Amino acid sequence: MGIHEPIWRKSSYSAEQDFGTCVEVAELGVQLGVRDSKNPGQPHLSFSRDAWSAFIGAIRSRSL
């Protein structure tokens, strides 16, 4: 089994005019990685899928 580089994706809500103030997300096995799109070489944060789903749900419901 080889080691695969994660495939980072940026939100479809991002635009070039936002000066790169966006995050990118990648699947990292059982976790999700989140990194700053302006500094992709820096360390990333890792979240469980449940924690990420709860975070996104809170944003969508405007409870954050």
Residue 55, domain member (yes or no): yes
Structural domain of 49: 28-34+44-64
The answer to whether residue 5 sits within a structural domain is no
Predicted TM-score of the model (pTM): 0.73
Q: Looking at the domain assignment, is residue 6 inside a domain?
A: no
Residue 64 lies in a domain: yes
Kindly tell me if the per-residue pLDDT of 1 is higher than 60.
no
HSE (side-chain half, CA atoms, 13 Å) at 53? 4
The tally of domains found in the chain comes to 1
What pLDDT, on a 0 to 100 scale, did the predictor assign at position 8?
94
Domain contains 23: no
pLDDT digits (tens, 9 = 90+) for 7-61: 999 877 666 655 667 889 999 999 999 998 888 899 999 999 999 999 989 989 9
* pLDDT at residue 2 is higher than 60: no
State the pLDDT at residue 64.
Answer: 74
